[in-house]
Amino acid sequence: MLSILFIGEINGKIGRRAVQELLPDLIKEHKPDLVIANADNLAHGNGVSEPTIKEMLAAGIDAFTGGDHCFGNTAYLNLYDSGLPLLRPANYSKSAPGKGQMIIEKSGHKILLASLIGQVFMSADHDSPFHEADNILSNLANKNISAIIIDMHAEATSEKIALGHFLDGKVSAILGTHTHVMTADARISPAGTALITDTGLTGLADGVIGVEKDGIIKTFLTQIKTPHVIPESGHAVLNAVALTINPKTKKAVTLKPITKYINIINSPR
């Protein structure tokens, strides 16, 4: 069996600290062949940076998916063409930096990891993730793939669930990201495709989807936008899913949601 650990969207420094503190024990417990994380808000809630990616690689993460904020840190757009295991959504413009899929070899198996972004309630106009998924799958002939993992970064639960039905039996797992709230619908279809609408947040637990709560409440009370503040310490959460896949059939066997809490007192690293 292939064992895969997928960490929900890492938000800022407090999220990275939570990974550093909690991931070693998760690796001991689940013994994953591959550890994946969504890095859309890795660098203080706005895309990625070279130091934050390298920090998470050192912590034990093997590959990263993206989302609507992946190009937010424009000083580091070159990272997407640098050879790092970092994806942006595959259904972005083909002229955008980077790529939306990669084949990762682990434990003698080839795993296809792809990143997609939704269209419903999202701020930019992207190509259809349904058509892009078809394009990705149509190019896999003779590549001896043992598992296919899709990160579907989308706002609408309906769009993620619809994609699950569209790709049912064609991929090993569709793991939703973007809302920062883990959903209670983790399941495996009879055809062997694992689906969870959202894998949740790795970051500030005592806030509003990873952001300091007082400013968000003030915005709702006054209708005046306030800066989003991501504290570097406090009560943190790591959300993830542990997935096992039969490499002979590409079918998911188990899908287990994980939620771990930790108090981040300071930032020693």
Per-domain residue ranges for the chain?
2-263
- The pLDDT value given to residue 267: 52
SS3 233: coil
Distances (CA, A) of 56 to 18, 36, 86, 136, 260: 11, 10, 12, 27, 18
Is the distance from CB of 201 to CB of 178 less than 8 angstroms? no
- The pLDDT value given to residue 124: 74
**Residues of the chain where predicted confidence (pLDDT) is lower than 50:** 268-269
Contacts with 173 (C-beta within 8 Å, 6 or more apart), sequence order: 4, 6, 147, 148, 149, 150, 193, 194, 195, 243, 245, 252, 255
- The pLDDT value given to residue 269: 46
What burial class does residue 132 get, using C-beta atoms within 10 Å of its C-beta: 0-12 exposed, 13-18 middle, 19+ buried? buried
- Closest residue by Cα to residue 133 from 114, 119, 147: 114
- Dihedral of CA atoms 244, 66, 156, 192 in degrees, nearest 10, equals -20
Distance CA 19, CA 27 (A): 11
Distance CA 80, CA 75 (A): 12
Which CATH code is given to the segment(s) 2-263? Answer: 3.60.21.10
| Token reading at 49 | 């940076």
Are β-strands 194-196 and 173-177 bridged in parallel, bridged antiparallel, or unpaired?
parallel
- 235 catalytic per annotation: no
Distance CA 231, CA 256 (A): 29
In the block, residue with structure tokens 């894998």: 199
Which of 30, 69, 126, 228 is an active site residue?
69
